[in-house]
């Protein structure tokens, strides 16, 4: 039997180091998992988080995400939007209105990820890797259960490299997490059809 526990919520690198430390003390995670999943360096001699090493480790993990991911080339520079008054789609995405445009931005750094009037997909870094790259909690061999190829798929903001969506899926699995038309299922129903953007924006004025 392989038991991996339930799925997490949000980017593990955004979790409070103190919360990870509490889990370590309670035996809920290992020192290895704390480092590889949460980017938290634990000093076993002092039994406390090493804050300096943790900051360095988290920066290194973000850089690793950048190096391993594929990002679609775009013309020009993507603007950084003010998301402080934006409308949350979820913990990672924000809808921002600029004049008559309805834009989607990263909730963490504000970089524009899509213009709902012209884009079909979010501009995200994409990584497909072996399931075990998801972390040390993945211990089973997928070939034992399925015939097709399975990958760990992670989408990240191409500016701050926060993980927006991560999952273990068949390699041919549709990229639903990037699809603009499906963002409406994350609390913004009028984003479902791009043709409705102008009408919906005027109704909310």
| Mean pLDDT computed over 106-130 | 95
Q: Would you say 87 and 188 are in contact if contact means Cβ atoms under 8 Å apart?
A: yes
Q: How do residues 121-160 score in pLDDT, each as one tens digit? A: 999 999 999 988 887 777 677 776 777 889 999 999 999 9
Alpha carbon dihedral 159, 160, 161, 165, in 10-degree steps, equals: -90
Q: How do residues 81-104 score in pLDDT, each as one tens digit? A: 999 999 999 999 999 999 989 999
Q: How do residues 44-80 score in pLDDT, each as one tens digit? A: 888 899 999 999 999 999 999 999 999 998 877 899 9
Domain residue ranges of the chain, discontinuous segments joined by +: 12-68, 70-205
Backbone angles phi, psi at 193, to 5 degrees: -125, 120
Q: Would you say 104 and 112 are in contact if contact means Cβ atoms under 8 Å apart?
A: yes
Give the residue carrying structure tokens 């949000």.
Answer: 10
Using alpha carbons, select from 141, 79, 128 the residue that is nearest to residue 104: 79
Residue 40's DSSP bridge partners are none
Please report which confidence band the pLDDT of residue 4 belongs to, taking 50, 70 and 90 as the band edges: low
Gap between the Cα atoms of 17 and 37, Å rounded: 12
């Amino acid at each position: 039997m392989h038991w991996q526990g339930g799925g997490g919520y949000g980017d593990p690198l955004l979790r409070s180091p103190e919360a990870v430390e509490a889990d370590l003390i309670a035996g809920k995670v290992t020192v290895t998992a704390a480092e590889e999943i949460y980017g938290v360096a634990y000093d076993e001699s002092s039994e406390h988080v090493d804050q300096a090493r943790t900051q360095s480790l988290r920066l290194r993990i973000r850089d690793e995400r950048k190096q391993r991911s594929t990002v679609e080339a775009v013309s020009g520079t993507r603007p950084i939007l003010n998301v402080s008054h934006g409308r949350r789609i979820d913990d990672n995405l924000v809808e921002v209105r600029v004049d008559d445009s309805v834009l989607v931005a990263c909730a963490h750094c504000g970089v524009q990820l899509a213009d709902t009037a012209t884009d079909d997909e979010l501009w995200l870094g994409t990584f497909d890797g072996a399931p075990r790259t998801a972390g040390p909690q993945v211990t089973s061999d997928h070939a034992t259960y399925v015939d097709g190829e399975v990958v760990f798929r992670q989408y990240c903001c191409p500016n701050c490299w926060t993980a927006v969506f991560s999952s273990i899926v068949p390699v041919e699995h549709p990229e639903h997490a990037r699809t603009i038309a499906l963002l409406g299922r994350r609390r913004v129903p009028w984003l479902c059809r791009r043709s409705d953007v102008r009408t919906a924006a005027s109704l909310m004025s």
